[in-house]
Amino acid sequence: MGIYLITAAFFALAIAGLAAGVIFSNRRLKGSCGGLANMKDSKGEVMCHACSDPKPECAGLREAAARESAKA
């Protein structure tokens, strides 16, 4: 029984440490459109076009993707 408590305490400390790292790094988590901006669908278009409710920053990504595809 003691080994289970030690293991649970170890994992709790590890999770608390990871959470503190995220909090103190003061970075925002990025949305899915930001992560999908580099992925293309079967038509070669940016996946961000698939968002049903795009965020304002997606407009910038779309413009950049359009400029990039115009160059190619």
What's the Cα-to-Cα distance from 42 to each of 4, 45, 63, rounded to whole Å? 49, 8, 20
Residue 36 burial (CB count, 10 A): 18
Among residues 4, 69, 16, the alpha carbon closest in space to that of 40 is found at 69
Mean pLDDT of the chain: 76
Domain map (residue ranges) of the chain:
2-71
Report the predicted TM-score, pTM, of the whole model to 2 decimal places.
Answer: 0.39
Q: What is the pLDDT of residues 22-51, one digit of tens each?
A: 888 887 666 555 555 566 667 776 666 666
Hunting for tokens 């949305």 — which residue is that? 31
| pLDDT of res. 12 | 98
